């Protein structure tokens, strides 16, 4: 089971964590294909992280 956020990955965008770190790397479908820039951009992250 791979989860990211309470409802989905966008839940992270309103957290203090997101401002500094973006979405957690543990949300990535493939951690080798996620970089910090991707995890700060919700549009790009949508293609790289678990949706729920």
- Residue 2: its pLDDT value, please? 77
Confidence (pTM)? 0.85
- Residue 15: its pLDDT value, please? 95
- Residue 52: its pLDDT value, please? 86
- Other beta carbons within 10 Å of 22: 22
- Residue 42: its pLDDT value, please? 96
- Residue 32: its pLDDT value, please? 92
Full pLDDT tens readout for the chain, 52 residues:
678 999 999 999 999 999 999 999 999 999 899 999 999 999 999 999 998 8
Q: What angle do CA 45, 40, 34 make, to 5 degrees?
A: 50
């Amino acid at each position: 089971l791979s989860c990211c956020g309470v409802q989905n990955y966008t839940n992270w965008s309103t957290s203090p964590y997101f401002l500094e770190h973006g979405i957690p790397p543990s949300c990535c479908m493939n951690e080798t294909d996620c970089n910090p820039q991707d995890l700060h951009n919700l549009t790009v992250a949508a293609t790289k992280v678990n949706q729920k």
